Structure 1
Amino acid sequence: MAGDKKTKQGNKREAGYDTGNKRFKYIILLFIILLSASGFFLILYGGARYGPASTHDSVAYMYASESLVSGKGLVYFGYDSPFVQWPPLYPLVLSAVNLLINLLNGFLDCNLLHAAGYLNGLAFSLIIFFAGYWLLKGTGSPVISICGSIAVLASIPLTYVSRFVWSEPLFILLLLLFMINLDNYIYRLSLKALVGCIIFAALAFLTRYVGATLIITGCILLIARKGKLINKIVETLIFGFFSSLPAALWMTRNYLLINTLTGGRSPARDSFPDNFTSTFKQLASWFVPGHAESAFHLMLLLALLISVLTVIKNRLIRENPVEKEKAARQEMNGDLAYKIAIPLVFALVYISYLVVSASLVAFDSINDRLLSPAFVPFTMGVFFLLYSFMRAKNGDENGKIRAVLTKSLFIVFFLVWLTYPSSEIVASTLYVHEKGAGILASEWWANSAVIEYVKKIPGGIKIYSNFPDAIYIHTGKKAGYTPKKEGLDLYGLDRFKKIIENEGNAYIAWFDGNAPIDIYDIEELKEHFAMEEIEKLPGGMICKITGLRGFYNEYGE
């Protein structure tokens, strides 16, 4: 017993508890909480003047939540069709926020857009906290946990996506909680942890369809862990079935409604080599300036190689009785190899899934938004890997000296590296505070003459536009897209003609600039509808559809 007690005390010293008591751990946790709070206020400050940034996706989420609260179900913005393009969790969360706003209407001066900004700020702060908590719990090292938390706070992609009313912050938070529970399960084989894995993987899949990568990652690591094969197969099947069931039910609902699982998808515009190159170029921009991309790629390959070797080494140690006993005496605060493997396997699965998907179907070019879920896993894996080199073994005095030197060098290197992302974030935060975050939250949209005209259009009149989401954000009025040239019939010209035929006149609020190329513009609409120009404005024009073109007009006879 005395020997066990001595070993535990040694483990605590090895793990980094220099004071030898829990008070030190609570001080570190308090510091991590302060860093988390800093992240919350960083996001709020950026949107203090113009509100959180928004895009078409943002408006689709908010409109679906409002349609649900009004009793119409989840409806897709712009075409009044079933909401199928994304899973339902984020609109459901916004619906709950919307109900709370309505309930506290007399006490809160807040709309859904601004409330969503607070929600994403909260998600960002929780990501910082749980990242630091996992590092502290897994290593016991104040240096690793604090630096890891700061690295997440100074994350270029995370601060970017958290400024927008997007589902990514919620998805990344669920991903992080999934990885923590998976780590707990592999280490302790706790039923509670397995249930946690199932819940957070299922919720992530209900947030974004790419959440399937969590289930793939979980299945790979559950099968790969040490244990009896039959037990691993059973737990993998249980995990895979229950974590994918809610999303499977949602996609079944989509298919029954409009004969598609995840909405209409067009063929890819970019090739696999193009997507592969742009992915690594984007990843490099998070960590190093543009002129140092080659160095980043070399460091990335080196980190992956060392990670694989570390996992193999720990696997061999477990299979060697002598080394196994030695490792038990030098306990590593859980299986460090899996702490490295879990986030890095996910990052590899996610990036591979993204590159392949982008090469098969068309969606936004691979950018900070799409890649952002890979940042936290990649960062966690690297910090766990660094700890494996920085830790000192019990009774090894030379090792302790090396550990001190390694930590000192790491801190210097970390502070030098931190100047790049922190300067980028400070500059971008000041810019979005003064000018808006761009897209729909900017001075240009707020001062648009077309927007001002739309505000004066009487209620009850149908409005269509090439940017109906901007109208919705800046006027609160519902607007729709002009018909799409290809895709599902729900969004096409024939359905639009029926709407005009049944409901009569409609306004077209058209903005100059880069309109979506897949919708009918003013000149193309004139071939099918009787239209008159109401007013030419700076930055756009207002037209009115008075009906369908007659047969003779349509064919020029």
Structure 2
Amino acid sequence: MKKFDIDSFFAAVCGFFIVYLFTHHSSIGVSPDSVVYTSAARNLYYHGKLEAYNHMPLVDFPVLYPLFLSLSLFIARLDPVVTGGIINGLLFASVIYMCGHIMKQIMRPRLVKWALLLGLMLSPALLDIYTMLWSETLFIALSVVFILVTGWYFKQPSIARVMVVAICAGLACLTRYAGVTFIFTGCFLIFFHLPLRSKKRITHCIVFGLTSSAFFIGNLIRNAIITGTFTGNREKSTTSFFTNLYYYGKVLYYWLPFMKNSEVLVSVFAIVFLVTAIAIIIWRIRTNYNHESYQNIAMVFGIVYILFIVITASISRYETINNRLLIPAYAPLLLVTVYAFGRLSFKLMFFRKTLTIVMLSAAFLLFIASQALESYGMYREYNTWGIPGYTDDGWRNSPITQYLKQHPQVLNKPAAIYSNAHEAAYFTANVAAESLPHTVDKEDVETFLTADGHYLLWYGHIDDPDLVNTSFIRQHKNLTEVYSTSDGAIYWCTNKK
């Protein structure tokens, strides 16, 4: 039996309490996506239906994360918004422990392992995610489990072990649609595992591909049966491949906070890093050099994931590529980077021992210090104003929110309610509103314009250029003010004759 990893456990416990401290002021952060996840989990628990707050079937997102939140509600008998800090703290702790466990197996020096543990524990990029009620929190944990079980499979390849890897990949597909990157990564690694005979490689690859994709395909078929679409309505991308590469570089700039005022340099470095990593993967395949090692699995997954996001963002419209979209690649690539520098330091130490120790220690301290300062700044902001989202002080103390909570009868007519922040209306004031249409969706705009006699709940501090605005609405409808505050208004809308 392997010795218990006390270092990783201690770091994991610290990670849990860091998330707890970050979410202490206003509870877990809640965004529009969080509202969908939470409402689906509530509806599943209380009504047995996997529907969002607007009674629409859940198709824009896969089903596993709402199921996960519903399970937490069943166990704790408390709403996910209440227990979100504990849930995310446990997930964050599991990521830290598993990454430390991997590093312990591939690098003996504790100093190198602690470099990784501190890099994860104090990462503003990860804390930005684990302070929010988002599916990425579970997805990241599954990515590290995937690295572990894939390495376990390569130690003694068998059908039973490849099935375990496939189930992990399938669960990732049910957490986020980007989970298909697990399937791509697994098929790639198994197919190019040259020590296995060709027949066995192909058999294992087919078994893995069919088993893992069954989860994904099953979810798509469910969506198609319910709504006639596989993943909900998706708009065509408005950004090119090279523009998305630039945004990927900006995310890396955020991941390396010590490189302030060097955005162009980091963008170039981001592309160089991507090309270099791909070249290393190709070289390892050709030479069969440590192909099945944890660090190689982590690198392949990280690169496949980044390429998938950049390419698909050039086809289908996402939010601008940001930390949230790319964060699943962070822990695997940090693990690879720390391992690479650890190996390099021990190779160079025989030639320039003192210089090597000084330079690498300085680089490590600079990185950790910058991470800690960035995270401390986040902590001060979160514990002053709350985590940005619908649980922060701005939303909780909003005059329009307070009025709606105290005067629900203001929306007393049996009519539709439209809003430029319908998720906020549901979460903060328990108002079931529909979203204003997107300007590019002409059919939805026409439906809205023909609707006669409805409420408009307008939040003045929300600026979403994708939605029709009040100027456009006033051109086509009569707006009668029902009530207004400093940050919003309620209108009764009728069509102009």
Q: Which residue of the other structure, out of 88, 101, 110, is the alignment partner of 1:142?
A: 110
* More off after superposition, 197-206 vs 379-388: 379-388
How big is the shift at 1:399? 7.7
Say whether residues 1:120 and 2:68 are aligned partners.
no
For residues 386 and 315 of structure 1, the distance between their equivalents in structure 2, rounded to whole angstroms, comes to 23
For 2:447, the equivalent position in structure 1 comes to: 494
How big is the shift at 1:521? 4.2
Contact residue 214 and residue 346 of structure 1 kept, 8 A: yes
Q: Which residue of the other structure, out of 201, 213, 216, is the alignment partner of 1:244?
A: 213
Instruction: Describe the SS at the equivalent of 1:70.
Output: helix
For residues 49 and 436 of structure 2, the distance between their equivalents in structure 1, rounded to whole angstroms, comes to 23
Q: Which residue of the other structure, out of 16, 19, 37, is the alignment partner of 1:40?
A: 16
Contact residue 303 and residue 382 of structure 1 kept, 8 A: no
Say whether residues 1:81 and 2:29 are aligned partners.
no
Instruction: Describe the SS at the equivalent of 1:75.
Output: coil
Q: Describe the superposition over 1:448-502 as per-residue Cα deviations: whole angstroms up to 9, x where unpaired.
A: 111011113337956442112223332344433234555497x66538967x7xx
Q: Which residue of the other structure, out of 532, 537, 550, is the alignment partner of 2:480?
A: 532
Q: Which residue of the other structure, out of 253, 260, 273, is the alignment partner of 1:290?
A: 260
How big is the shift at 1:201? 0.7
> Where do residues 154-303 of structure 1 align in structure 2 (5 Å cutoff)?
154-226=122-194, 227-287=196-256, 288-293=258-263, 297-298=268-269, 301=272
Q: 1:506 to 1:306 in 2, by over 3 A?
A: closer
TM-score normalised by L of structure 2? 0.88
For residues 93 and 496 of structure 1, the distance between their equivalents in structure 2, rounded to whole angstroms, comes to 39
For residues 158 and 82 of structure 2, the distance between their equivalents in structure 1, rounded to whole angstroms, comes to 40
Counterpart amino acid of residue 261 in structure 2? H
Instruction: Describe the SS at the equivalent of 1:510.
Output: strand
> Where do residues 80-479 of structure 1 align in structure 2 (5 Å cutoff)?
80-102=55-77, 110-226=78-194, 227-287=196-256, 288-293=258-263, 297-298=268-269, 301=272, 305=276, 308=279, 312=283, 316=287, 335=290, 338-390=293-345, 409-458=359-408, 461=412, 463-479=417-433
Q: 1:82 to 1:488 in 2, by over 3 A?
A: farther
For residues 72 and 140 of structure 1, the distance between their equivalents in structure 2, rounded to whole angstroms, comes to 50
* More off after superposition, 400-409 vs 471-480: 400-409
For residues 415 and 259 of structure 1, the distance between their equivalents in structure 2, rounded to whole angstroms, comes to 54
Say whether residues 1:480 and 2:431 are aligned partners.
no
Q: 1:358 to 1:174 in 2, by over 3 A?
A: same
Contact residue 466 and residue 509 of structure 1 kept, 8 A: yes
Q: Which residue of the other structure, out of 516, 527, 538, is the alignment partner of 2:464?
A: 516
For residues 162 and 350 of structure 2, the distance between their equivalents in structure 1, rounded to whole angstroms, comes to 37
For residues 399 and 517 of structure 1, the distance between their equivalents in structure 2, rounded to whole angstroms, comes to 56
Where do 4+ consecutive residues of structure 1 move more than 6 Å? Answer: 398-405, 495-498, 527-530
For residues 185 and 334 of structure 2, the distance between their equivalents in structure 1, rounded to whole angstroms, comes to 17
Instruction: Describe the SS at the equivalent of 1:150.
Output: helix
* More off after superposition, 79-88 vs 139-148: 139-148
Contact residue 419 and residue 433 of structure 2 kept, 8 A: yes
Instruction: Describe the SS at the equivalent of 2:61.
Output: coil
Q: What percentage of aligned pairs have identical amino acids?
A: 24
Instruction: Describe the SS at the equivalent of 1:290.
Output: coil
For 1:543, the equivalent position in structure 2 comes to: 491
For residues 441 and 188 of structure 2, the distance between their equivalents in structure 1, rounded to whole angstroms, comes to 36
Contact residue 193 and residue 291 of structure 2 kept, 8 A: no
* Aligned positions, number: 490
For residues 357 and 205 of structure 2, the distance between their equivalents in structure 1, rounded to whole angstroms, comes to 38
Q: Describe the superposition over 1:258-287 as per-residue Cα deviations: whole angstroms up to 9, x where unpaired.
A: 221111111112222211112112113212
Counterpart amino acid of residue 59 in structure 2? V
Q: 1:412 to 1:524 in 2, by over 3 A?
A: closer
* More off after superposition, 340-349 vs 166-175: 340-349
Q: 1:538 to 1:317 in 2, by over 3 A?
A: closer
Say whether residues 1:65 and 2:41 are aligned partners.
yes
For residues 337 and 311 of structure 1, the distance between their equivalents in structure 2, rounded to whole angstroms, comes to 13
Counterpart amino acid of residue 63 in structure 1? S
Q: 1:484 to 1:135 in 2, by over 3 A?
A: same
For residues 317 and 527 of structure 1, the distance between their equivalents in structure 2, rounded to whole angstroms, comes to 67
How big is the shift at 1:431? 0.9
For residues 478 and 278 of structure 2, the distance between their equivalents in structure 1, rounded to whole angstroms, comes to 66
Q: 1:305 to 1:463 in 2, by over 3 A?
A: closer
Q: 1:138 to 1:304 in 2, by over 3 A?
A: farther
Q: Which runs of 5+ in 1 are unaligned?
A: 1-20, 103-109, 319-334, 393-397
Q: Describe the superposition over 1:157-196 as per-residue Cα deviations: whole angstroms up to 9, x where unpaired.
A: 2111111111111101001100111112123325554233
Q: 1:301 to 1:453 in 2, by over 3 A?
A: same
For residues 134 and 215 of structure 1, the distance between their equivalents in structure 2, rounded to whole angstroms, comes to 21
For residues 146 and 304 of structure 1, the distance between their equivalents in structure 2, rounded to whole angstroms, comes to 28
For residues 402 and 196 of structure 1, the distance between their equivalents in structure 2, rounded to whole angstroms, comes to 45
Instruction: Describe the SS at the equivalent of 2:484.
Output: strand
For residues 488 and 207 of structure 1, the distance between their equivalents in structure 2, rounded to whole angstroms, comes to 31
How big is the shift at 1:404? 8.9
TM-score normalised by L of structure 1? 0.79
For residues 66 and 88 of structure 1, the distance between their equivalents in structure 2, rounded to whole angstroms, comes to 13
For residues 139 and 277 of structure 2, the distance between their equivalents in structure 1, rounded to whole angstroms, comes to 29
Q: 1:231 to 1:193 in 2, by over 3 A?
A: same
How big is the shift at 1:293? 4.7
For residues 270 and 111 of structure 2, the distance between their equivalents in structure 1, rounded to whole angstroms, comes to 21
Q: Which runs of 5+ in 2 are unaligned?
A: none
For residues 534 and 276 of structure 1, the distance between their equivalents in structure 2, rounded to whole angstroms, comes to 47
Contact residue 281 and residue 300 of structure 2 kept, 8 A: no
